[in-house]
């Protein structure tokens, strides 16, 4: 029995301790350890799957920091006091490493118009990035960095993705790097969303927010199945409706951008129509999927191969076509000159037609910059005489560098062979430049940019909570 004045250890008394310390009195048989119910075991296995997927994708996800110059003349006078003080707008997005040579896939809107691009890796290293190529029609872009020890992500075919499947979104929402969120695939084949010209999006309720753009959507094996690109929201935050570009489309675009710096798309030369049940019945077509040919360009490849208005296209290279989005994207993923096989339903029977795709009219205006053919504008750390890259002491920056300051400029990078190389290091805080107290990184940059480094400029550096003065001067 328990209690009743008996002491633990006496015959017939069980000593009550923590579960790991339970002992049984002599002569008492201990019950067998209970096994976890099957449903609990399943929960643990699911948890381990999420943990493993997050760990697997982590070293492949990057933050992309962009800077864009703003023409103050374009801003209404009454809004200028609220605009960026140095005329530069800074943005943050995400990306995923898909090649050990430094190729990173992201969204076009993350890099569009940027004069400065930097990539921050999982291990906090930062590198200047070159734009390899962009494709606004799919909202995809490829950038490249010159770095060692990169870990490319694994990919999986988005064609195998199913509604209800567990997925995770990785990236830097609101600047919070190394973040993941979980949900399911809510729908597939979302087109006509106004997000991009070529849309066949994976819809998910995994939380996608500002800053997630360009990051990967992964399955529970840690494989990339999509690139997060947009949300449906009236507030700017996640409402549980996010969209990702399927990996099968992204891989094709990435390969073309790396090889050619731009994307050239094939062209059939038909006007596609939605195949409603009533229309299908009117043509004697019993199927539910397919694309109705509303019209044919007489000078296009489809007309030359014998495709006619009123045909119902059912397959492209042996793959069944769900709707117009599937056919349009399937053709767009193939380059001009590619030979394809289409199956059409006509006059009660199916026939196969071989044709060679033409070039989509109006292509070529979205050329990218090939590696070595032109870099983004050098970052301030490399371009300035002082060689310092500075950041505002935001909550994230203070947590990253383990500093407790509210004012000043946090040093995040020091350029080699600069005047500051021997005196300043990342994690330092500049509290004074000359005689001026530093209130912000923007102010410190302006003061340092104007300094005479032949004579030298005095700065106060706070490191480990202790300040000291140093002189930044160019060697004679």
Q: Are residues 423 and 333 in the same domain?
A: no
Q: Are residues 87 and 214 in the same domain?
A: yes
Buried-state track 17-52, b at ≥16 Cβ within 10 A, e below 16: eeeeeeeeeeeeeeeeeeeeeeeeeeeeeeeebeee
Q: Are residues 251 and 141 in the same domain?
A: yes
Beta carbons within 8 Å of 219's beta carbon, 6+ residues apart: 53, 156, 161, 165, 166, 167, 225
User: Which pLDDT does position 156 carry in this prediction?
Assistant: 93
Beta carbons within 8 Å of 77's beta carbon, 6+ residues apart: none
Of 60, 63, 86, 109, the catalytic one is: 109
Q: What is the CA radius of gyration of the chain?
A: 30
Tell me whether residue 297 is one of the annotated catalytic residues. Answer: no
The domain boundary, picked from 303, 326, 359, lies at 359
- The answer to whether 138 and 249 are in contact (CB under 8 A) is yes
Q: Does 390 reside within a domain?
A: yes
User: Which pLDDT does position 186 carry in this prediction?
Assistant: 92
- The answer to whether 108 and 136 are in contact (CB under 8 A) is yes
Q: Does 325 reside within a domain?
A: yes
Q: Does 404 reside within a domain?
A: yes
User: Which pLDDT does position 38 carry in this prediction?
Assistant: 62
Triad 76, 77, 78: Cα angle to 5°: 95
Q: Three-class SS of residue 54? A: helix
Whose tokens are 């979104």? That residue is 169
- CATH number of the domain enclosing 244: 2.40.10.120
User: Which pLDDT does position 31 carry in this prediction?
Assistant: 56
Q: Are residues 309 and 245 in the same domain?
A: no
For residue 206, give both structure tokens: 């995994």
Buried-state track 308-342, b at ≥16 Cβ within 10 A, e below 16: eebbbbbbbeeeebebbbbbbbbbbbbbeeeebeb
Domain of 324, in residue numbers: 266-359
Kindly tell me the number of DSSP H helices and DSSP E strands found in the chain.
Answer: 9, 27
Q: Are residues 88 and 150 in the same domain?
A: yes
Q: Are residues 128 and 171 in the same domain?
A: yes
Q: Are residues 203 and 304 in the same domain?
A: no
User: Which pLDDT does position 309 carry in this prediction?
Assistant: 86
- The answer to whether 269 and 299 are in contact (CB under 8 A) is yes
The candidate with the shortest Cα–Cα distance to 439, out of 410, 416, 397, 463, is 410
Q: Does 250 reside within a domain?
A: yes
User: Which pLDDT does position 366 carry in this prediction?
Assistant: 40
The CA distance from 12 to 27, in Å, is 8
Q: Three-class SS of residue 68? A: strand
Q: Are residues 436 and 460 in the same domain?
A: yes
pLDDT tens, the chain, 476 aa long: 333 434 334 334 333 333 334 444 555 555 555 565 666 667 788 889 999 999 999 999 999 998 877 665 555 555 555 555 555 667 889 999 999 999 999 999 999 888 889 999 999 999 999 999 999 988 999 999 999 999 999 999 998 999 999 999 999 888 888 889 999 999 988 776 666 677 788 999 998 888 889 999 999 999 999 999 877 765 556 667 889 999 999 999 999 999 888 888 899 998 888 888 888 888 889 988 999 888 888 889 999 999 998 899 999 999 999 888 889 888 988 889 999 999 999 999 999 999 999 987 765 444 443 333 333 333 344 447 788 999 998 888 888 888 888 889 999 988 888 888 888 999 999 988 988 899 988 899 989 988 888 888 888 888 887 777 888 888 77
Q: Are residues 318 and 447 in the same domain?
A: no
Tell me whether residue 44 is one of the annotated catalytic residues. Answer: no
- CATH number of the domain enclosing 354: 2.30.42.10
Q: Are residues 178 and 286 in the same domain?
A: no
Q: Three-class SS of residue 158? A: helix
HEC string of 340-400?
EEEEEEECCEEEEEEEECEECCCCCCCCCCCCCCCCCCCCHHHHCCCCEEEECCCHHHHHH
User: Which pLDDT does position 174 carry in this prediction?
Assistant: 84
42-101 residue pLDDT tens: 778 888 999 999 999 999 999 999 887 766 555 555 555 555 555 566 788 999 999 999
User: Which pLDDT does position 54 carry in this prediction?
Assistant: 93
Residue 449 CA neighbour count, 13 Å, CB half: 14
Exposed, middle or buried, 233 (CB in 10 Å: 0-12/13-18/19+)? middle
User: Which pLDDT does position 378 carry in this prediction?
Assistant: 33
Of 130, 135, 139, 219, the catalytic one is: 139
Q: Are residues 236 and 284 in the same domain?
A: no
User: Which pLDDT does position 26 carry in this prediction?
Assistant: 56
Tell me whether residue 260 is one of the annotated catalytic residues. Answer: no
pTM: 0.61
- The answer to whether 448 and 457 are in contact (CB under 8 A) is yes
Q: Does 142 reside within a domain?
A: yes
The domain boundary, picked from 213, 232, 260, lies at 260
Q: Does 370 reside within a domain?
A: no
Number of domains in the chain: 3
Q: Does 41 reside within a domain?
A: no
The domain boundary, picked from 260, 291, 323, lies at 260
Q: Are residues 151 and 191 in the same domain?
A: yes
Of 63, 179, 213, 247, the catalytic one is: 213
User: Which pLDDT does position 461 carry in this prediction?
Assistant: 86
Q: Does 23 reside within a domain?
A: no
Q: Three-class SS of residue 45? A: helix
Q: Three-class SS of residue 238? A: coil
């Amino acid at each position: 029995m328990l209690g009743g004045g008996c002491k633990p250890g006496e015959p017939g008394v069980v000593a009550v301790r923590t579960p790991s310390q339970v002992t049984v009195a002599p002569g008492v048989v201990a019950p067998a350890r209970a096994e976890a119910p099957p449903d609990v075991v399943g929960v643990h296995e699911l948890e381990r799957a999420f943990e493993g997927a997050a760990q697997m994708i982590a070293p492949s996800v990057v933050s992309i920091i962009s800077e864009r110059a703003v023409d103050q003349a374009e801003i209404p006078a009454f809004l200028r006091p609220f605009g960026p003080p140095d005329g530069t707008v800074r943005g943050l997005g995400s990306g995923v490493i898909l090649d050990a040579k430094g190729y990173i896939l992201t969204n076009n809107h993350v890099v569009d118009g940027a004069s400065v691009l930097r990539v921050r890796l999982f291990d906090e290293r930062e590198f200047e990035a070159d734009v390899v190529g962009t494709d606004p029609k799919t909202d995809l872009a490829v950038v490249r960095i010159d770095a060692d020890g990169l870990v490319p992500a694994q990919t999986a075919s988005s064609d195998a993705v199913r509604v209800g499947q567990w997925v995770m979104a990785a990236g830097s929402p609101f600047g919070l790097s190394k973040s993941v969120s979980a949900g399911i695939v809510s729908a597939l084949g979302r087109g006509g969303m106004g997000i991009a010209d070529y849309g066949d999006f994976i819809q998910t309720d995994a939380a996608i927010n500002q800053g997630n753009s360009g990051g990967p959507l992964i399955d529970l094996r840690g494989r990339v199945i999509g690139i997060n690109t947009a949300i449906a929201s009236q507030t700017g935050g996640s409402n549980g409706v996010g969209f990702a570009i399927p990996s099968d489309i992204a891989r094709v675009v990435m390969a073309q951008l790396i090889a050619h710096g731009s994307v050239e798309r094939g062209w059939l030369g038909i006007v596609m129509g939605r195949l409603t049940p009533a229309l299908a019945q009117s043509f004697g077509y019993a199927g539910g999927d397919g694309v109705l040919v509303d019209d044919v360009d007489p000078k296009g490849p489809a007309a030359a191969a014998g495709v006619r208005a009123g045909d119902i296209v059912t397959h492209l290279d042996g793959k069944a076509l769900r709707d117009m989005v599937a056919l349009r994207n399937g053709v767009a993923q193939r380059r001009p000159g590619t030979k394809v096989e289409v199956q059409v339903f006509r006059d009660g029977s199916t026939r196969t037609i071989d044709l060679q795709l033409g070039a989509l009219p109006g292509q070529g205006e979205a050329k990218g910059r090939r590696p070595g053919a032109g870099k983004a504008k050098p970052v301030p750390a490399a371009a300035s005489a002082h060689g310092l890259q500075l950041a505002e002491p935001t909550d994230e920056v203070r947590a990253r560098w383990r500093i407790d300051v509210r004012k000043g400029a946090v040093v995040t990078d020091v350029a080699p062979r600069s005047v500051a190389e021997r005196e300043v290091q990342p994690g330092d805080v500049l509290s004074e430049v000359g005689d001026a107290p530093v209130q912000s990184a923007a102010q410190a940059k302006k003061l340092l940019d104007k300094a005479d480094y032949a004579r030298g400029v005095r700065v106060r550096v706070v490191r480990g909570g202790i300040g000291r003065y140093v002189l930044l001067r160019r060697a004679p």
